[in-house]
Amino acid sequence: MPFSKAFPKRSDKAAYPTWEDVELSSAEEMLVEEKARLENIQLMNACIEDAKKIIEEKALNRYQSDMVHIAIALFEKRASHSIYHKERKAREKFDSNKLS
């Protein structure tokens, strides 16, 4: 199911905006997801390095559950950023259609 988002299209003739649906093609959606994934990996690597420093500085014990917490954080980050990037791409597409 392709990603789609509705945007308000204002008109001088109507008091209320009409809503226009914008769909991303499969290729556009995959490109946006890949870009978000790479950005999230870089961000997660930086966070892991920071966490390692804190664990060493505070002499904390490393547990197996740390891996679970990292996996959960990564999942939440990917899920929210994926939607954000798809919505942004849909907005770009909507704005470019509006100018045409």
pLDDT at 68: 59
Give the CA distances from residue 19 to residues 8, 15, 16, 92, in Å, rounded to whole numbers and listed in that order: 5, 13, 10, 16
Q: Pick from 35, 3, 34: which is nearest to 21 by CA? A: 3
Q: Is residue 37 part of a domain?
A: yes
Q: Is residue 95 part of a domain?
A: yes
Range of the domain at 74: 26-99
* pTM summary value: 0.55
- The tokens of 44 are what? 């997660």
56-99 residue pLDDT tens: 776 666 665 675 576 677 667 766 777 788 888 888 888 887 77
Q: Is residue 8 part of a domain?
A: no
Question: How far is CA 100 from its chain centroid?
Answer: 27
Q: What is the C-alpha R_g of the chain?
A: 20
Tell me what percent of the residues of the chain surpass a pLDDT of 70: 77
Q: Is residue 66 part of a domain?
A: yes
Q: Is residue 36 part of a domain?
A: yes
Domain count, the chain: 1
Q: Is residue 52 part of a domain?
A: yes
pLDDT at 34: 92
pLDDT at 67: 58
